[in-house]
Structure 1
């Protein structure tokens, strides 16, 4: 019995599943919602560029479409994120789900470039296969709120890992569905592409259903109640004397402490209201991280998975099923890599995990155009994808550990805006390069930018102090070594109990 349970108990504790379980139902719902949403994103990340090529759009139009779509994500996602704490996080997530449904229905029916562009800009569509828009920033802020510092990295790691599995299933399913529908009488390739957008809309409905099930503990006001101000001590003499006002004879005024007049609102008070929630020390640190993330996002925007699939399809002409298999394996390896992000962050630290896993991935992007064989190119894609997501959970945990709890939603929203805004220039540049048969330059430049980000991140943030604004309670969630020790004692006790039972049986006989 001990030999069977020991590996399962060790995995349960060492890889952070205990943290997900102890966090509660809200964490489960958020992780499931993102996994289903990434399934939908996985379907359209495979076909988006191929879909546009099939209905007659040029490479330059494709680049323009992806750039403007990312710009739409910048403004829509940032606006919704910055007001989420005031309007309600669940309401904003529900609104994003409705926009996702609307976008899927329009793409499933229309083929006009401008109608599709309008739907992508004002709606929610993943132009790069990533989770842009209002969802991720708000969800990460909620997870940071409902977790402790010791369990946060583990929960965020599974948030990333299971969503990557969703992308895996979506990419695999889309390739198979397209191959199946193409063999049916009267179905064209464009018809098969259209059918996948109905799947996208259905998963938008499912995402909305899970958002409705979230509790009030996900809202910002539930956190603010913990920091309610203690009322000031009342003075011994609370009497107020009525005297005649010198400014207005006959009028009665209160003889007591006078309050200063309310400050006049600036014409830019709406902007300062958003940024004003972030303290100056936090901004001084975050500007450095935002600059580095902008470089990394520019690189990712130049060679997203949708354009990478387009590059492999144009260079090697594989079947859509084979291309879907490669993309699916890439996302699966990304999920497997994400499992190890939490344990590695506990062992070597958040920044070291981000840097040392991202460097090999960046190198794979740099040399991606070199092979002339499809299988070797696929191997480089596997290396890139398998290690690429291991920095996501530590990055979110790093931001949550740097900023104050009340600043997290705004900071994460601005972080998403900065990353998306930097990524907008990438597709346009890549589209122009693809039209002039210089697509390979995008991968070389992207890999070089990513390596610059890795080095800069390690140099600036390796010694930064974490958790200065919250109380760390390590007893709430044990470290890996403590869990290992307790598990060994538990398994030893269980094994000893089994031996005692066997001895009693022999004595009875």
Structure 2
């Protein structure tokens, strides 16, 4: 993405877009290799599911902390701290394969295994981004670029997930061949921290009612009602998504069809490119039919494709279904993010984004462990069916609860 062309965006906005891309690049390769790496060092499916769940619990804690205190202590300070913790977590994975140590790394860092942004960075950046737009009409477009840039970067990072296989062919041991990727994750965290350091004071919240009051307490009764309903629905969607996070899908291709890591990385890279372009399409659709309609009418077909993927008899069919699904499945992301910050006041955005994202993280932290049990005791593809049916239920809930609650520009 050529940031110089974004003349409607402030310097802070461009720094945030860059930080998102660097972070997503590292999430790309880690989301593919982590479950496979844990399998290689001897962990069974249940223990792998536990570690994946713990990485999501980290998101819950740090997102909640940001929701309560970021506007009070300073958004910039919190972002820098989170980026440093990201590097520390990568360092632990680099130097040890001790199970307890890896659990600690998953708890203190921002190890992302979902294939999309779910961590503590998202809520803060989501609240800040509208303040970096010079023209309010560009808000939807900004969230599209924010997600598109991150997805392109993640797709590029995914290509690195084939590095362990290449190193093994050059004589490296199985375990050691994964270490360079953890080193790259450390570097990415440090770069993100440096970018945040250059953010200006303009990213901090304006027009605070009481600077000593946590941001969550400043939600109006109307906003509380909206946020509560959205949080309940998002928790269902995220619980369903936990059954089909990128690490599990990667594991499924690896186990079901014996696909090599280099091929898996290419599959997810292509899927990422398709997803990235879908964000811009989602923005254009939303300008015509509205944010809620775009969220729902693109998500339901994607979830039908997810269910069909479970029954794919051959790799080519599975590949086609997966790519078709990924072309549609994330079109609700920029529209959802834009909708949340549009239907609440400016000083409520951190709390609204934090609460709704926390609701997603809490339930998503549970389902990977359940998915591990389901895979081991029922059927390798069962998580796809469970996740797809639950997601369709979520879509219907969003439509019937919020089709009449419109952002200002749609009224």
Q: TM-score, normalised by structure 1?
A: 0.77
- After TM superposition, list the pairs within 5 Å mapping 1:179-218 onto structure 2: 179-185=165-171, 187-218=172-203
Separation of aligned partners in 2, 1:385 and 1:108:
31
1:289 Cα deviation from its structure 2 partner: 1.2
Deviating more after overlay: 327-336 vs 20-29: 20-29
Deviating more after overlay: 396-405 vs 457-466: 457-466
Deviations 1:16-68 (A, max 9, x none): 997x4212221111111101100000010110110100000010101111222
Number of the residue aligned with 1:224: 207
Matched, 1:330 2:271: yes
Q: Give the 3-state SS of the residue equivalent to 2:325 in structure 1.
A: helix
Number of the residue aligned with 2:237: 296
Q: 2:86·2:111 contact (CA, 8 Å) conserved in 1? A: yes
Q: 1:43·1:174 contact (CA, 8 Å) conserved in 2? A: yes
Q: 2:216·2:348 contact (CA, 8 Å) conserved in 1? A: no
Higher-Rg member (1/2): 1
Separation of aligned partners in 2, 1:274 and 1:39:
31
Q: 1:77·1:132 contact (CA, 8 Å) conserved in 2? A: no
1:273 Cα deviation from its structure 2 partner: 4.2
Q: Give the 3-state SS of the residue equivalent to 2:17 in structure 1.
A: helix
From 13, 22, 30, the counterpart of 2:16 = 30
Number of the residue aligned with 1:173: 160
- After TM superposition, list the pairs within 5 Å mapping 1:280-359 onto structure 2: 280-359=221-300
- After TM superposition, list the pairs within 5 Å mapping 1:263-278 onto structure 2: 273-278=214-219
Separation of aligned partners in 2, 1:217 and 1:364:
43
Q: 1:46·1:174 contact (CA, 8 Å) conserved in 2? A: yes
Q: Give the 3-state SS of the residue equivalent to 1:403 in structure 2.
A: coil
Separation of aligned partners in 1, 2:260 and 2:48:
22
Figure out how many residues of one structure are paired with residues of the other and give that number: 408
Matched, 1:96 2:85: no
From 294, 301, 305, the counterpart of 1:360 = 301
Matched, 1:465 2:399: no
Separation of aligned partners in 2, 1:198 and 1:69:
18
Q: Give the 3-state SS of the residue equivalent to 1:207 in structure 2.
A: helix
Number of the residue aligned with 2:372: 431
1:376 Cα deviation from its structure 2 partner: 1.3
Give unmatched runs, 5+ long, in structure 2. Answer: none
Q: 2:71·2:215 contact (CA, 8 Å) conserved in 1? A: no
1:180 Cα deviation from its structure 2 partner: 2.2
Separation of aligned partners in 2, 1:461 and 1:358:
15
1:151 Cα deviation from its structure 2 partner: 1.2
Separation of aligned partners in 2, 1:338 and 1:61:
35
Separation of aligned partners in 1, 2:122 and 2:262:
30
Separation of aligned partners in 2, 1:157 and 1:17:
17
- After TM superposition, list the pairs within 5 Å mapping 1:75-94 onto structure 2: 75-94=61-80
Separation of aligned partners in 2, 1:338 and 1:89:
26
Deviations 1:260-304 (A, max 9, x none): xxxxxxxxxx9x845321111111122111111111101101110
From 327, 339, 343, the counterpart of 1:386 = 327
Number of the residue aligned with 1:146: 132
Separation of aligned partners in 2, 1:171 and 1:214:
28
Matched, 1:46 2:29: no
Deviations 1:193-214 (A, max 9, x none): 1221101111111111111121
From 376, 397, 411, the counterpart of 1:456 = 397
Separation of aligned partners in 1, 2:129 and 2:247:
29
Matched, 1:135 2:118: no
Q: 1:161·1:336 contact (CA, 8 Å) conserved in 2? A: yes
Separation of aligned partners in 2, 1:172 and 1:280:
47
Deviations 1:69-121 (A, max 9, x none): 21222112211342111111111110011001101111111101110011111
Separation of aligned partners in 2, 1:104 and 1:463:
45
1:437 Cα deviation from its structure 2 partner: 4.6
Number of the residue aligned with 2:111: 125
Q: 1:303·1:426 contact (CA, 8 Å) conserved in 2? A: no
Deviations 1:391-445 (A, max 9, x none): 1111111111111110000110111110000112211111001212513221111
Q: 1:158·1:338 contact (CA, 8 Å) conserved in 2? A: yes
Separation of aligned partners in 2, 1:423 and 1:17:
37
Separation of aligned partners in 2, 1:393 and 1:17:
22
Separation of aligned partners in 2, 1:329 and 1:51:
22
Number of the residue aligned with 1:249: none
